[in-house]
C-alpha cells in the first residue's frame, strides 16, 4: 500500500513539474525586466486578471498602456476571445488617507476583432522583438509611458517592456513598437471606450499610475459631496 501511495505521489509530482513554464525576460542577463514584472504583477492582481505564467491556455496575448489593457486568448475548444479593460485609481486630497479604490470597466471583444488583434501580434514582429533594455540605443527616463507585452503558451511565458517609444528619435525598433501599440488599440476602439469611461468615473480626482493627477472642476457643494462619500467608504472599509 505504501509503495502504491509513493508511486502516485511521484506521478503527481512529475506531472506538476512538467507543467512548469519557461520564463523569458523576467530575470535574464540579456533583458532583465524584473522590476517591471513585479510592478505589473501588482497591477494584474489589482484588476483580478490571471497571471499568464500559470494559465493553461494554448495562447494568451496581453498588451498594456497605463490605463487600458487588451487580452486575447484561446479557450480549450480553440475559440478565440478577447476583452479590453479600462481602469483608473482614485486620488484622495493631500489631507486625507488614501481610499485605495480602483474603478474598472471591461468590454468584451467580438471574435472577429480578437482574431484581427491576434493576427497583428503574429504579423507585426512584436513577439520576436527584444525587451527595450536589450535594444541598442533605447533610452529610459522618468516621465513618459511604459508599454508592456505579455505572451503565453502552454510551455512558455514572455514579458517585455518598452519605455516611451516616441522619445527614441528614429530608432527602428521604437517605431515598430509604437505602430503595434497604435494599431492594436485602434482595432479595439480604445479611444472611444476611454471617452465614455471618463464620463462615468465616480471619483473627484484620479490617476493612472503616473505622476499627474486628473482633478475635476467642481463647486464647493460637489466637493463636499465627494468628501462625504469617501469618508463613508473609509468607515465601511475600516480605513480610518
**pLDDT per residue as tens, the chain (240 positions):** 444 333 333 333 333 333 467 877 665 545 556 788 888 999 999 999 999 988 888 899 999 999 999 999 998 788 899 999 999 999 998 888 999 999 999 999 999 999 999 999 999 999 999 999 899 999 998 888 999 999 999 899 999 999 999 999 889 999 999 999 999 999 999 999 999 999 999 999 999 866 689 988 899 999 999 999 999 998 888 765
So what's the pLDDT on residue 27?
59
| Amino acid 238: pLDDT | 75
What pLDDT score was predicted for residue 123?
Answer: 97
- Using alpha carbons, select from 167, 80, 76, 168 the residue that is nearest to residue 121: 80
Chain length of the chain: 240
pLDDT for res 10: 31
Residue 110, judged by CB atoms within 10 A of its CB (0-12, 13-18, 19+), counts as exposed
Q: What is the 3-state secondary structure (H, E, C) of the chain?
A: CHHHHHHHHHHHHHHHHHCCCEEECCCCCCCCCHHHHHHHHHHHHHCCCCCCCCCCCCEEEEEECCCEEEEEEECCCCCEEEEEEEEEEECCCCCCCCCCCEEEEEEECCHHHHHHHHHHHHHCCCCCCCCHHHCCCCCCCCCCCEEEEEEEECCEEEEEEEECHHHCCCCHHHHHHHHHHHHHHHHCCHHHHHHHHHHCCCCCEEECCCCCCEECCCCHHHHHHHHHHHHHHHHHHCCC
Residues 235, 117: contact at Cβ < 8 Å? Answer: no
Q: What pLDDT, on the 0 to 100 scale, is given for residue 208?
A: 83
How far is Cα 238 from Cα 126, in angstroms, rounded to an integer?
Answer: 45
Give the Cα separation of 239 and 97 in Å (integer): 8
pLDDT at 125: 96
pTM beyond 0.75, yes or no: yes
For residues 57 and 153, give the distance between their C-alpha atoms in angstroms, rounded to a whole number.
7
Amino acid at each position: 500500500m505504501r509503495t502504491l501511495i509513493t508511486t502516485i505521489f511521484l506521478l503527481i509530482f512529475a506531472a506538476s513539474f512538467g507543467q512548469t513554464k519557461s520564463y523569458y525576460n523576467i530575470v535574464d542577463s540579456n533583458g532583465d525586466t524584473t522590476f517591471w514584472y513585479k510592478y505589473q504583477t501588482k497591477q494584474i492582481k489589482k484588476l483580478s486578471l490571471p497571471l499568464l505564467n500559470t494559465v493553461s491556455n494554448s495562447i494568451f496575448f496581453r498588451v498594456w498602456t497605463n490605463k487600458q489593457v487588451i487580452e486575447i486568448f484561446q479557450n480549450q475548444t480553440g475559440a478565440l476571445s478577447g476583452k479590453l479593460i479600462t481602469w483608473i485609481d482614485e486620488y484622495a486630497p493631500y489631507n486625507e488617507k488614501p481610499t485605495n479604490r480602483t474603478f474598472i470597466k471591461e468590454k468584451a471583444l467580438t471574435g472577429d476583432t480578437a482574431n484581427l488583434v491576434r493576427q497583428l501580434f503574429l504579423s507585426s514582429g512584436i513577439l520576436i522583438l527584444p525587451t527595450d533594455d536589450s535594444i541598442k540605443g533605447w533610452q529610459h527616463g522618468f516621465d513618459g509611458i511604459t508599454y508592456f507585452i505579455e505572451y503565453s503558451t502552454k510551455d512558455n511565458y514572455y514579458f517585455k517592456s518598452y519605455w516611451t517609444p516616441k522619445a527614441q528619435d528614429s530608432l527602428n525598433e521604437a517605431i515598430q513598437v509604437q505602430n503595434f501599440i497604435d494599431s492594436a488599440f485602434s482595432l479595439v476602439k480604445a479611444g472611444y471606450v476611454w471617452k465614455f469611461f471618463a464620463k462615468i468615473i465616480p471619483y473627484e480626482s484620479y490617476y493612472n499610475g503616473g505622476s499627474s493627477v486628473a482633478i475635476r472642476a467642481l463647486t464647493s457643494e460637489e466637493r463636499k459631496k465627494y468628501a462625504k462619500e469617501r469618508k463613508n467608504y473609509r468607515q465601511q472599509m475600516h480605513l480610518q
